[in-house]
Amino acid sequence: MRQTDASVAAAPRDGFSSSFGVLAATLGSAVGLGNIWKFPYLTGANGGAGFLLVYLLATLLIGLPVMITEIMLGRTAKADSVGTFKKLAPGTPWWLIGGFGVLAAFLIMAFYSEVAAWVLAYVFKSLAGSALSSDPAHTSAAFDQLIHDPLQSLLWQWAVLVLIGGILLLGVSKGIEAVTKKLMPLLFILLVVVGVRSLLLPGADAGLRFLFQPDFSKISSGVVLTAMGLAFFKLSIGMGTMLTYGSYFRDDQNIPATALRVMSADLLVSMLAGIAIFPAVFAFGFAPAAGPSLLFITIPAVFAQMPFGGLFMVVFFVLTAIAATGAMLSILEVPVSVLSERLGWSRAQATVCTLLALALIGASAALSNSVLADFKWFGMTMFDLFDALTSNVLLPLGGILLCLFTGWVWGPRRFADALSNGGTLANRRLLAALFLVTRWVSPLLILVVMLKGLGAF
Ligand code: TRP
């Protein structure tokens, strides 16, 4: 018996093979529809630069410490998100953090895969030339037609799930790492091209002012909670994604530096998306507060104005699909790794079961704009409910628990040891400060923002 245990523990675990691979996969997780779809529409709906500033504060004071903590716990335990807590604190209920994470993963994927489905549909629409038009009435009609059709909504979602399943089956280094390494640099380049084009439109300056000149009159406690939820969502933290990816990190990887790089690059991508979208929104007289449809009605109108616009639009939606792919891989890796490492299922079995369950839950989000449009809980369709519940409740709750575990159970010595790679990195002072933030500042801040935003006091 003891022999078997030892050989299981010694079996080589798949992981990221190079330092660049770590960065690409982690950044691939962070950068996604959160940057290209959610960030612009939330910034637009919540008043622009003031929202951006609150978002920045949340990213620095909460996002960064939680991200570092998650990666650290995963790398130390080298296990899935439930197994990590079973290893680090055996016999305690802390593994529930991993359990909540699995739940959150399903709820996020349910609506995320539907937005990815719209993106995929737009790849084909733009190939066929049917979505491109400089007339806003036409681009919004084209989008409505897609989301109001139940069959199309479901089929595109299934196509997304099959695509992601295929990559996940290839494994961590040959699937996730290989795919994200090739595609992330391309995404950057294309966003810059679209951004420059948008800036050159007459009337673009109103968009820049909206994005960079803060107006604090729009900031309410609800808006602060939305900004914090966005920080969690964009950095992929609070539900075990970073923990799981951390478990694939190499032992000589500098975790705080990697987290800082990922955070900065993620922010840069969001800003580029904002610069690509808002000048165009104002130049064409769209409403910045259009909500979730913003990306799908403005981007086609921008492209319609430029030479080879049809071609650029295909490339843009292909790259958005790619960004969404890296993110979805990282969301699904959480349940897949829990199922395969906890229950001993094969990776294929775990992947297929996860996707089947998702097709079921996801359908309720996919049909939220058609047959289930009137089916509401708390006044929200399933699509909106899954979105609000995860970003505003589950992820922040996960963040609080992760900080409490690290600050009060794990403790300063092991924290400093794990994040200095056993003393080989000269970052003691930084870690001492970071520990205090993780122990006190972040969890209290999350708690206050969450309770106030939800109207508890
Ligand atoms: N960060 C991704 C995006 O911006 C989405 C994502 C991936 C995510 N993994 C996550 C969100 C884990 C919350 C939790 O699109």
Q: Where are the domains of the chain?
A: 5-453
Reply yes or no on whether the pLDDT at 3 is more than 50.
no
Q: Which of 96-110, 158-172, 177-191, 198-212 has the highest mean pLDDT?
A: 96-110
N- to C-terminal Cα distance for the chain?
55
Instruction: For residue 351, give the amino acid letter.
Output: T
Could you tell me which residue, 24 or 69, shows the higher pLDDT?
A: 69
- Give the position, in ligand 1's atom list, of the atom nearest the Cα of 327: 7
What separation in Å is there between the alpha carbon of 331 and the centre of ligand 1?
7
What separation in Å is there between the alpha carbon of 42 and the centre of ligand 1?
15
- Give the position, in ligand 1's atom list, of the atom nearest the Cα of 39: 4
What separation in Å is there between the alpha carbon of 413 and the centre of ligand 1?
30
Does the C-beta of 279 come closer than 6 Å to ligand 1? no
Does the C-beta of 327 come closer than 6 Å to ligand 1? yes
- Give 308's pLDDT tier (boundaries 50, 70, 90): confident
Nearest CA to ligand 1 atom 14: 236
Does the C-beta of 39 come closer than 6 Å to ligand 1? no
Roughly what angle, to the nearest 10 degrees, separates helices 309-343 and 294-304?
A: 150
Does the C-beta of 121 come closer than 6 Å to ligand 1? no
Contacts of residue 365, defined as CB under 8 A and 6 or more positions apart, other chains included, come to 110, 111, 113, 114, 382, 383, 386
β-bridge mates for residue 377, sequence order: 380
Q: CB pairs under 8 A, 24+ apart, for 139-142?
A: 139/296, 139/297, 139/298, 139/300, 139/301, 140/293, 140/297, 142/300
The confidence score (pLDDT) of residue 11 equals: 56
Q: How far apart are CA 108 and CA 226, in angstroms?
A: 16
Q: Which two tokens mark 438?
A: 């993780």
Q: Which two tokens mark 411?
A: 């403790």
Does the C-beta of 330 come closer than 6 Å to ligand 1? yes
Nearest CA to ligand 1 atom 6: 236
**Number of neighbouring beta carbons within 10 Å of residue 360:** 11
Determine the average pLDDT of the residues in 197-210: 90
Reply yes or no on whether the pLDDT at 5 is more than 60.
no
Reply yes or no on whether the pLDDT at 9 is more than 80.
no
Q: CB pairs under 8 A, 24+ apart, for 444-447?
A: 445/61, 445/62, 446/62, 446/228, 446/396, 446/399, 446/400, 446/403, 447/400
Q: How far apart are CA 216 and CA 219, in angstroms?
A: 5
Does the C-beta of 207 come closer than 6 Å to ligand 1? no
Q: Which SS3 state, helix, strand or coil, does residue 418 take?
A: helix
Reply yes or no on whether the pLDDT at 393 is more than 90.
yes
Instruction: For residue 372, give the amino acid letter.
Output: L
Task: Report which DSSP code applies to 12.
Answer: P
What separation in Å is there between the alpha carbon of 306 and the centre of ligand 1?
32
Report residue 201: phi and psi, to 5°: -70, 145
Q: Check: CB of residue 298 under 8 Å from CB of residue 281.
A: yes
The confidence score (pLDDT) of residue 2 equals: 41
Is 5-453 assigned to CATH 1.20.1740.10?
A: yes
CA 378 to chain centre: 24
Task: Report which DSSP code applies to 13.
Answer: P
Q: How far apart are CA 283 and CA 405, in angstroms?
A: 49
Report residue 380: phi and psi, to 5°: -125, 150
Of 429, 84, 95, which is closest to residue 244 (Cα–Cα)? Answer: 84
Residue with the two structure tokens 């007459």: 202
What separation in Å is there between the alpha carbon of 236 and the centre of ligand 1?
4
Does the C-beta of 241 come closer than 6 Å to ligand 1? yes
The confidence score (pLDDT) of residue 263 equals: 97
The confidence score (pLDDT) of residue 132 equals: 82
Nearest CA to ligand 1 atom 9: 236
Q: Which of 55-69, 206-220, 272-286, 313-327 has the highest mean pLDDT?
A: 55-69
Q: How far apart are CA 354 and CA 109, in angstroms?
A: 11
Nearest CA to ligand 1 atom 10: 236
- Give the position, in ligand 1's atom list, of the atom nearest the Cα of 32: 15
Reply yes or no on whether the pLDDT at 383 is more than 50.
yes
Determine the average pLDDT of the residues in 417-443: 97
Does the C-beta of 59 come closer than 6 Å to ligand 1? no
The confidence score (pLDDT) of residue 7 equals: 38
Q: Which SS3 state, helix, strand or coil, does residue 292 take?
A: coil
Q: How far apart are CA 325 and CA 116, in angstroms?
A: 8
Q: Check: CB of residue 329 under 8 Å from CB of residue 164.
A: yes
Q: Strand locations in 113-156, DSSP E?
A: none
- Give 215's pLDDT tier (boundaries 50, 70, 90): confident
Could you tell me which residue, 92 or 302, shows the higher pLDDT?
A: 92
Q: Which two tokens mark 315?
A: 């490339």
What separation in Å is there between the alpha carbon of 340 and the centre of ligand 1?
21
What does pLDDT average to over the chain? 91
Reply yes or no on whether the pLDDT at 115 is more than 80.
yes
What separation in Å is there between the alpha carbon of 224 and the centre of ligand 1?
19
Q: Check: CB of residue 73 under 8 Å from CB of residue 402.
A: yes
Burial of 208 (0-12, 13-18, 19+ CB in 10 A): middle
pTM: 0.94
The confidence score (pLDDT) of residue 297 equals: 86
Does the C-beta of 239 come closer than 6 Å to ligand 1? yes
Reply yes or no on whether the pLDDT at 180 is more than 80.
no
